[in-house]
Amino acid sequence: MLQSVEFRGIVLFSKDYKEKDCLVKIFTEHAGKMMFFARNVQRKNNPLKQAIMNFHYGTYMGKLQRDSLSFLNGVKTIDVFQRIQADIFLSAFATYILNLVDAALEDNEYDPNLYGFTKQSLQLIDQGYDAQIITNIFELQILSRFGVQLNLHSCAVCGETQEKFAFSAYMSGIVCTKHCLQDKTLYKASPQIIHFARMLSNIHLNQIRSINISDEIKQELRIFIDTLYDEYVGINLKSKKFLDQMKDWI
Ligand SMILES: [Zn+2]
């Protein structure tokens, strides 16, 4: 019989199943994301009840199966991103990040780097760092998991690094002023936006303290990253629409 094991994970989402049970998707550190069945979890006093709620993470116990549903049996330590959970704006950013993970990664795909990156991104938002910037970094750096490799470093034609650049969807990268003339797929982001997009796509989250970006640049970055996602990724996440609508509330 399959043994119950301990594993670290972050809840991606959960949903009720029949009266007392739940299905919960967890991004585990050592086995990728998996769907778990949690029995009787909606009963009072079941410690799992809280542990499978949004924005929780911790060390769980369960039976992990690659080819079918896994079973969640218990929880050893549990933590929550408290600030995110309490703030509708922050929770909108965090939900979008978790949805991106779910969309980018196949079930059971081992990806401890993405696990660490996701956890650290949420921790930084929870600690009060700029949620939009963290989200932009996450969006840019998770592109490779969608199979998208962009060259934001140098002109895709001549390798020039010092020029002013525009972004070419056709070349999947930036092109200098000499090489952008014939390109109908050109997105003329300002040189500043290309600069910041390049920086955010390479930055390590440990360096985040040194970032300071104006609201105007942030708005342009939002548009540029949306353009990249429309062009290369093509997913429609409700959580992203919600984030976009949220801007009108302020
Ligand atoms: Zn060039």
pTM of the model: 0.94
- Taking residues 160-183, what's their average pLDDT? 87
Question: What is the CA(220)–ligand 1 centre distance, in A?
Answer: 24
CA distances (Å), 156 to each of 146, 172, 177, 184, in order? 21, 8, 12, 15
Domain end position, chosen among 31, 46, 80: 80
Residue 110 placed within a domain:
yes
pLDDT over 80 at 182, yes or no: no
Residue 213 placed within a domain:
yes
- For residue 15, name the pLDDT band (cuts at 50, 70, 90): very high
Residue 154 placed within a domain:
no
CA 206/CA 208 separation, integer angstroms = 6
Q: State whether 96 and 15 are in the same domain.
A: no
Q: State whether 145 and 38 are in the same domain.
A: no
Q: Which residues have C-beta under 5 Å from ligand 1, the single-atom ion?
A: 155, 157-158, 160, 176, 178-179
pLDDT over 90 at 102, yes or no: yes
> Tens digit of pLDDT for each residue in 139-157?
999 999 999 999 999 999 9
Residue pair 72/56 in contact by the 8 Å Cβ criterion: no
Q: Which two tokens stand for residue 93?
A: 């950013």
> Tens digit of pLDDT for each residue in 117-142?
999 999 999 999 999 999 999 999 99
Question: What is the CA(214)–ligand 1 centre distance, in A?
Answer: 29
Question: What is the CA(53)–ligand 1 centre distance, in A?
Answer: 50
Quickly list DSSP for the chain: -PPPEEEEEEEEEEEEETTTEEEEEEEETTTEEEEEEETTTTSTT-THHHHTSTTEEEEEEEE--SSS-EEEEEEEEEEE-HHHHH-HHHHHHHHHHHHHHHHHS-BT---HHHHHHHHHHHHHHHTT--HHHHHHHHHHHHGGGGT---B-SS-TTT--SSS-EEEETTTTEEEEGGG-TT-TTEE---HHHHHHHHHHHH--GGGGGG----HHHHHHHHHHHHHHIIIII----HHHHHHHHHGGG-
Question: What is the CA(202)–ligand 1 centre distance, in A?
Answer: 21
Least confident of 174-178, 189-193, 234-238: 189-193
Question: What is the CA(229)–ligand 1 centre distance, in A?
Answer: 24
Phi first, then psi: give them for residue 121, nearest 5 degrees.
-60, -45
Q: State whether 106 and 230 are in the same domain.
A: yes
Q: State whether 119 and 19 are in the same domain.
A: no
Q: How many domains does the chain have?
A: 2
Residue 206: which CATH number? 1.20.1440.120
pLDDT over 70 at 1, yes or no: no
Domain end position, chosen among 80, 97, 114: 80
Q: State whether 115 and 189 are in the same domain.
A: yes
Residue 172 placed within a domain:
no
Question: What is the CA(172)–ligand 1 centre distance, in A?
Answer: 14
Question: What is the CA(198)–ligand 1 centre distance, in A?
Answer: 17
Residue 106 placed within a domain:
yes
Question: What is the CA(179)–ligand 1 centre distance, in A?
Answer: 5
Q: What percent of the chain has pLDDT over 70?
A: 99
Domain hosting residue 21, numbered range: 5-80
Question: What is the CA(162)–ligand 1 centre distance, in A?
Answer: 10
- For residue 250, name the pLDDT band (cuts at 50, 70, 90): low
CA angle at 150 for the pair 190 and 122, rounded to the nearest 5°:
85
Question: What is the CA(166)–ligand 1 centre distance, in A?
Answer: 10
Q: State whether 54 and 93 are in the same domain.
A: no
- Rg of the Cα trace of the chain? 20
Q: State whether 43 and 113 are in the same domain.
A: no
How do 5-17 and 21-28 pair as beta strands?
A: antiparallel
Phi first, then psi: give them for residue 176, nearest 5 degrees.
-80, 170
pLDDT over 90 at 44, yes or no: no
Question: What is the CA(30)–ligand 1 centre distance, in A?
Answer: 43
What pLDDT score does 214 carry? 93
Q: State whether 94 and 210 are in the same domain.
A: yes
- Taking residues 18-37, what's their average pLDDT? 95
Question: What is the CA(163)–ligand 1 centre distance, in A?
Answer: 8
| DSSP bridge pairs for 214 | none
Residue 224 placed within a domain:
yes
Q: State whether 60 and 94 are in the same domain.
A: no
Question: What is the CA(158)–ligand 1 centre distance, in A?
Answer: 4
Domain end position, chosen among 51, 80, 109: 80
pLDDT over 80 at 77, yes or no: yes
Residue 19 placed within a domain:
yes
Residue pair 190/220 in contact by the 8 Å Cβ criterion: yes
Task: Give 248: exposed, middle or buried? Use CB within 10 Å, 0-12, 13-18, 19+.
Answer: exposed
What pLDDT score does 241 carry? 95
Residue 39: which CATH number? 2.40.50.140
pLDDT over 70 at 109, yes or no: yes
- For residue 191, name the pLDDT band (cuts at 50, 70, 90): confident
- Name the average pLDDT for the chain: 93
Q: State whether 71 and 134 are in the same domain.
A: no
pLDDT over 70 at 91, yes or no: yes
Residue 194 placed within a domain:
yes
What pLDDT score does 177 carry? 87
| DSSP bridge pairs for 79 | 57
